[in-house]
């Protein structure tokens, strides 16, 4: 199931597993309704369920590099080589990687 603050998923991606040979990390950008705050989550799959946690200090764009704070998040992609690294594309300000 999805986190309460991300009932409407905007973007979903996979990334490097926490341990070699493990399940890939899950990343989710979601919100509750149009105009509401978007939240970033990292999920851990254990083979039957997903446990979601806020990704970063607050899970919002305020945690991101400055190039992604002004225009917000357009899309996300997980890094397949580094656990916990997320590539974030902004609507007009370019992109950055985020590794809290």
Using 50, 70 and 90 to split pLDDT, how confident is the model at 98? confident
> DSSP per residue over 30-57, as a string?
EESSTTSPPEEEEEEE-SS-EEEEESSS
Q: Given this model, what pLDDT does residue 19 score?
A: 93
Give mean pLDDT, residues 71-91. 87
Rounded to whole angstroms, the Cα distance separating 28 from 43 reads 8
Q: Given this model, what pLDDT does residue 11 score?
A: 93
Give per-residue pLDDT as tens, 34-73.
Answer: 888 889 999 999 889 999 999 989 988 888 777 666 667 7
For 87, residues 6+ apart whose C-beta sits below 8 A from its C-beta are 76, 77, 78, 79, 95, 96, 97, 98
Q: DSSP assignment, residue 23?
A: P
Residue where the block lists tokens 């305020």: 62
């Amino acid at each position: 199931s999805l986190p309460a603050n991300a009932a409407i998923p905007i973007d979903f991606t996979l990334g490097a597993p926490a341990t070699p040979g493990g399940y890939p990390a899950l990343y989710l950008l979601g919100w509750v309704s149009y105009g509401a705050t978007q939240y970033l989550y990292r999920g851990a799959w254990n083979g039957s369920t997903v446990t979601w946690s806020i990704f970063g200090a607050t899970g919002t764009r305020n945690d991101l590099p400055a190039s992604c704070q002004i225009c917000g998040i357009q899309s996300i992609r997980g890094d397949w080589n580094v656990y916990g690294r997320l590539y974030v594309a902004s609507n007009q300000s370019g992109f950055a990687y985020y590794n809290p």
